[in-house]
Chains A and B, each alone.
Chain A
Amino acid sequence: MNDKSVRIEDTNTSLTGLGRRGFMISAVVGVIAMAATVALGAAAGDGMRRLGYTYLISYAYVLSVSLGALTFLPIMSVTKASWHIVIRRLAEVMAAVMPLLAILAIPVILFAGKIYGWADPQIAASAAMAHKAAWFSQGAFILRWVIYFCIWSGYGIFFWRQSLAQDVSGDDNITRRVENLSGFSIMIGAITIAMASFDLLMSVDPLWFSTIFGVYYWAGGFVSFFAVLTLLTFGLQNTGRMTRIVSPEHIHDYGKGMFAFTFFWAYIAFSQYMLYWYANIPEETNWFLERSREGWGKLGIFLIFAAFVLPFAGLISRYAKRHRKMLAFWAVWIIAAQWLNLYWVVMPSFSEKFVFGVMDVTCFIGIAGLWLAAITRLAMGHSLVPLKDPRLEASLRFENA
């Protein structure tokens, strides 16, 4: 039951006292982990190829979380939702770090020659690649990434700036302006995220194609976004911030988001698999063939349980969705499982046999650490809650029916 009298003034909505420390710790951990990753990559003695692949995986994963935030915001806006207002700033900050992710994309472009099949002269010379040659060139690839990041950064910063401006002016027109541009942002986001997933992950094997791949990538990112949002909220609440205003009712909605999009992800993943399994055309099934032997098949079966069956069963009850410890457990679990899913998507193109090393973990910690440092730095000096949003009151009083 929500305390009806809860007011925004009753809680600490500032990062003061935590922000600097949080920024320093995550930045230092991130840099050390990245340095360790580079050292391990150099020690592998394959001209940094292994490093390129693991960087791609963790980068694609962290990017998908920010892209999740970037789709969450306009969807909430066009539906005129109010439940999320108290936690909206957290999503805004996750979307607004797009420029950092643009910088982190540079290594992917530098490694492109080592990790993407289309950069391999032997594959590029095959007849199946002839009509794709113009699309898959270094120049076109870089140009597309510039376009993606102009659009994503533009929207991410737009949502962030408008929201901060409303903190000062309290102008209701800002809410309407964001609403008007949100519909377009959903459409543009759908197209650019799909295209980016083709470029980032699918073109590792440029002979394989899947039209649903963009949704597959986005769904994994969206469910991870809810998981990260849950952990960020709990982390802030454990240090005495945003307490009371984020009630079990909001937490319940995090649980619903994780539950629903766990299933959505599985639905899409299976849709992709089943059509290829049924049609059984060599150029389409080869991708799955590579991922079903030499240990990769076992990982695939494991993922069915880790990324779908177990979190689905674990989050199905209302009780679990409102239980903080259980929800935190599943949030960590989902992040690990979805990261592992991208590992399964990418790594078999590097090695026919299953591989896994310390480098994969340190690389993820490195990129995640830098990302966390950036969102902390960005949020410092601002309220953690949009203080003058017209729907803030409704959000404070929100109850699940």
Chain B
Amino acid sequence: MKQGDLYGLLIEFESPSLLAAAAMRVRDAGFKKWDVHSPFPVHGMDDFMGIRGTRLPFIILGGGLIGLAAATLMQWWMNAVDYPFVISGKPLFGLPANIPIMFELTVLFSAFAAFFGMWGLNGMPRWYNPLLTSKRFRRATQDRFFIVIEARDPAFKLEKTREFLASLGGSEVEEIHESAED
């Protein structure tokens, strides 16, 4: 297989505690575009990696407000404008009758915003991840722990970063490449 552009550098650890210690050093070295991979959640990893709070709640709030507005406008237009029809003497647009739909669409749009917003923030969907070209990386779902620093990180300099990773006490550092286009 031909190799494409450099994607990043991968290093493997044998235990979650080694991973946690290494993650803190990567964080302190000022890298931004990097990630850890583990077969199970490691408690406190967000802090070890210095991950800041997600923007997702604001996306969900936006989705919810759009749902609320959509439900209100839809019912108003249908019941009071497009097809006015008096039912049991109620006003054409009576708020209490419309609140259940306003509630439901707020919840529905919030859920969509949460689900697809999470996709968007995680860069999904994508066909494959260059890491999957690494044979060693397959054990990320079994019994090995990985750190990968991406080449697009501003602090990434191939040789210096390789030396830095090698000093973290893991296995040999492996170069990961994008698969070449045919």
Contact = CB atoms under 8 A, between A and B. Distances in A.
Contact of B47 (A1, A273, A280): A1
Contacts of B88: 278, 280
21 contacts: A1-B44, A1-B47, A270-B96, A270-B99, A273-B96, A274-B96, A274-B97, A274-B99, A274-B100, A277-B96, A278-B88, A278-B90, A278-B96, A278-B97, A280-B88, A280-B89, A316-B61, A317-B57, A318-B53, A318-B57, A399-B43
Nearest to B58: A317
A76 B155 CA distance: 49
A270 B100 CA distance: 10
Interface in B95-125: 96-97, 99-100
Interface string B45-67: 00100000100010001000000
Interface string A1-14: 10000000000000
A318 B56 CA distance: 12
- Sorting the interface of chain A by its residue count into under 10, 10 to 19, 20 to 34 or 35 or more gives 10 to 19
B95 to A, nearest CB: 10
Contacts, number: 21
Contacts of A280: 88-89
Contacts of B57: 317-318
Contacts of B47: 1
Interface in A307-358: 316-318
B99 to A, nearest CB: 6
Contacts of A274: 96-97, 99-100
Interface in A32-54: none
Contacts of A270: 96, 99
Contacts of A316: 61
A316 B99 CA distance: 20
Interface in B134-155: none
Nearest to A1: B47
- A-B complex: 8 closest residue pairs judged by Cβ atoms: A277-B96, A274-B96, A1-B47, A270-B99, A278-B97, A273-B96, A274-B99, A280-B88
Interface in A242-287: 270, 273-274, 277-278, 280
Nearest to A316: B61
Contacts of B96: 270, 273-274, 277-278
B34 to A, nearest CB: 21
Contacts of B43: 399
B15 to A, nearest CB: 18
A313 B43 CA distance: 31
Contacts of B100: 274
A313 to B, nearest CB: 10
A40 to B, nearest CB: 38
Interface in B79-98: 88-90, 96-97
Nearest to B89: A280
Nearest to A270: B99
B64 to A, nearest CB: 10
A284 to B, nearest CB: 14
A318 B52 CA distance: 13
Given A273-B96, A278-B96, 4 more contacts: A277-B96, A278-B88, A316-B61, A318-B53
Contacts of A278: 88, 90, 96-97
A275 to B, nearest CB: 10
Contacts of B97: 274, 278
Contacts of A318: 53, 57
A273 to B, nearest CB: 7
Contacts of A399: 43
Nearest to B47: A1
A287 to B, nearest CB: 16
A277 B88 CA distance: 11
Contacts of A317: 57
A146 to B, nearest CB: 40
B40 to A, nearest CB: 13
Contacts of B90: 278
Interface string A72-107: 000000000000000000000000000000000000
A142 to B, nearest CB: 39
Contacts of B61: 316
Interface string A277-305: 11010000000000000000000000000
